Amino acid sequence: MFGSGCQGLFKCFQAERIRRMRVLRMRINGDQVEVAAPDHWTLLEVLRYRLGLTGSKQGCDKGDCGACTVLVDGRPELSCLSLAALSEGREITTIEGLAPANLRSGGQGPDPIQDAFDRCGALQCGFCQPGMMLSARALLNRDAEPDRDAIKAALSGNLCRCTGYTQIVEAVELAISDALDKPEAKPFWSDANCGSAPKPAYRAARDGAQD
Ligand code: FES
Ligand code: FES
């Protein structure tokens, strides 16, 4: 009797589980995606555990650290607090999609933000970087020449336990300076810092230059 009761309960759980699955349709990093997931899952869970897009980090999982930041229709959102079902039909960009988006828009290689972070050495463990770069990308998409206070405000939801933030802010300033093609536009940015950093191998290959 106990056994048959458990079997019944198991079937009941299974039926409930299937009933609570949902097929989500969204555009992720330029691709139309259909994915089945429990209907209570967050966008972060769907990205990481259904689609294998583990660039979005599961840090605090409660809205404090910003490591899970993705772009939803171009705006930064905390994917750990976003119900995946509410992202249906939206355009999602994760860190995996930044370089392909740059290529599609006529750029070469990584997004200029990624390039600038690399040149500035604006990372240590790297855990915060995907969210940090996506917040920076969203800022530069809406404001081509933000000042230092605007950069700090845009990144204020992204915590970094390693770098002390100086190189991160400088990296964003370098990306701005590069995009505007006028290094003098940001006088507080110093050649002694990231501007003179050696080119990483991929840049050397891209530019046909030697390190
Ligand atoms: S994991 Fe989302 S804010 Fe920390
Ligand atoms: S580089 Fe380690 S948390 Fe930012």
With a 6 Å cutoff on the Cβ, whether 66 touches ligand 1 is yes
Burial of 40 (0-12, 13-18, 19+ CB in 10 A): exposed
Give dist(CA 66, CA 131) in Å, integer: 6
Domain boundaries, the chain: 22-94, 110-201
63-98: pLDDT as tens digits: 999 999 999 999 999 999 999 999 999 999 999 999
148-178: pLDDT as tens digits: 999 999 999 999 999 889 999 999 999 998 8
Question: Is 60 exceeded by the pLDDT of residue 198?
Answer: no
Q: How much is the pLDDT for 180?
A: 87
What is residue 82's DSSP assignment? Answer: S
The H or E element containing residue 23 is: strand 21-28
- Residue from 58, 60, 65, 125 whose mutation best tests the ligand 2 pocket (most atoms within 8 A of CB): 125
110-201 has which CATH code? 1.10.150.120
With a 6 Å cutoff on the Cβ, whether 158 touches ligand 2 is no
Q: How much is the pLDDT for 8?
A: 72
Q: How much is the pLDDT for 15?
A: 63
Q: What is the largest CA-CA distance in the chain?
A: 81
Q: Which two tokens stand for residue 136?
A: 């920076």
The packing angle between helices 112-120 and 129-142, to 10°, is 130
17-62: pLDDT as tens digits: 666 899 999 999 999 999 999 999 999 999 999 999 999 999 999 9
Question: Is 60 exceeded by the pLDDT of residue 185?
Answer: no
Give dist(CA 119, CA 121) in Å, integer: 6
Please name the residue whose Cα sits nearest to atom 4 of ligand 2.
160
Q: Name the β-bridge partners of 34.
A: 25
With a 6 Å cutoff on the Cβ, whether 59 touches ligand 1 is yes
- Residue from 56, 62, 160 whose mutation best tests the ligand 1 pocket (most atoms within 8 A of CB): 62
92-137: pLDDT as tens digits: 999 999 999 999 999 989 999 999 999 998 989 999 999 999 999 9
Domain 22-94 in CATH: superfamily?
Beta-grasp domain (3.10.20.30)
Give dist(CA 190, CA 199) in Å, integer: 17
- Residue from 58, 135, 160, 169 whose mutation best tests the ligand 2 pocket (most atoms within 8 A of CB): 160
Of 199 and 68, the structure prediction assigns the larger pLDDT to 68
Measured from the CA of 123, which atom of ligand 2 is nearest? 1
Residue type, 185: A
With a 6 Å cutoff on the Cβ, whether 60 touches ligand 1 is yes
- Residues 4, 26 contacting (CB under 8 angstroms): no
> pTM, whole model, 2 decimals?
0.82
Q: Which two tokens stand for residue 35?
A: 């994915």
Give dist(CA 157, CA 123) in Å, integer: 17
